[in-house]
């Protein structure tokens, strides 16, 4: 089954996978497309998808932070960051942009601004569902405070890689994953804080609505 794809007037292709994508297939497809962007023959792309349950390790991952009692597949991702979980109920957005040029309010060749822009994009998307996403110094990703418990938890993770200034990998937003699966790792190497989802915050929303919000909020940043 082929992905659904749509081109914007800015030359960005939005691609939506209709079925779960095995992680090795995603890496291979991203690598090929990044090469095509770099060679000047392909449009930039945001790829929205879902993976089967798995763990990935970034370049800073500590092997001691992996427990994996369920025996999920593990993959070395090659992106920045540490251990993260992907699985059903989580929206992954792989972002393939040529960062040698400016994108909205993100200047050319500014990795920090690009990461900040991805966080702003997620924060704007969460706001569309009445959720206040926040940054935390020293912690990449987007965090929320549970109004009932006051507990601070991560709702969206972020990890990127650049190849000759073309970005790949991206972000993962928790809609309604099995949060118990996160017990198999120390998420992003951060102890003392939880992981949450829109559903755990009492917000029931389907993937199509999240995809629409991601696309709508993209132009506010990029």
Tell me whether strands 139-145 and 152-163 are parallel, antiparallel or unpaired. Answer: antiparallel
Task: Measure Cα distances from 42 to 33, 37, 57, 118, 219 in Å.
Answer: 7, 5, 28, 22, 20
Q: In what order do the strands lie in the sheet with 83-86?
A: 74-76, 54-57, 83-86
CA 149 to chain centre: 26
What are the tokens at 211?
């995809």
Active-site annotation, residues:
188
CA atoms within 13 A on the CB side of 8: 13
What is the C-alpha separation between 122 and 155, in angstroms, rounded?
A: 10
What is the C-alpha separation between 171 and 157, in angstroms, rounded?
A: 6
What are the tokens at 139?
């912690």
Beta bridge partners of 154: 143, 195
């Amino acid at each position: 089954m082929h992905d659904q794809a749509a081109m914007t007037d800015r030359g960005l292709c939005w691609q939506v996978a209709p079925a779960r994508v095995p992680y090795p297939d995603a890496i291979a497809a991203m690598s090929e497309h990044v090469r095509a962007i770099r060679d000047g023959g392909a449009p930039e792309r945001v790829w929205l998808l879902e993976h089967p349950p798995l763990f990935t390790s970034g370049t800073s991952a500590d092997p001691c932070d992996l427990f994996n009692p369920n025996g999920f597949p593990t993959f070395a991702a090659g992106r920045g960051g540490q251990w993260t979980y992907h699985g059903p109920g989580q929206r992954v957005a792989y972002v393939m942009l040529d960062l040698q040029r400016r994108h909205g309010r993100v200047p050319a060749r500014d990795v920090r601004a690009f990461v900040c822009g991805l966080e702003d994009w997620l924060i704007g998307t969460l706001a569309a569902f009445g959720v206040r996403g926040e940054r935390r110094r020293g912690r990449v990703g987007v965090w929320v405070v549970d109004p009932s418990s006051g507990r601070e938890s991560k709702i969206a993770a972020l990890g990127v890689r650049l190849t000759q200034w073309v970005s790949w990998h991206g972000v993962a937003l928790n809609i309604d994953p099995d949060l118990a699966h996160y017990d198999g790792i120390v998420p992003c190497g951060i102890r003392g804080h939880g992981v949450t989802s829109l559903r755990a915050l009492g917000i029931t929303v389907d993937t199509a609505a999240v995809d629409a919000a991601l696309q709508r909020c993209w132009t506010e940043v990029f």
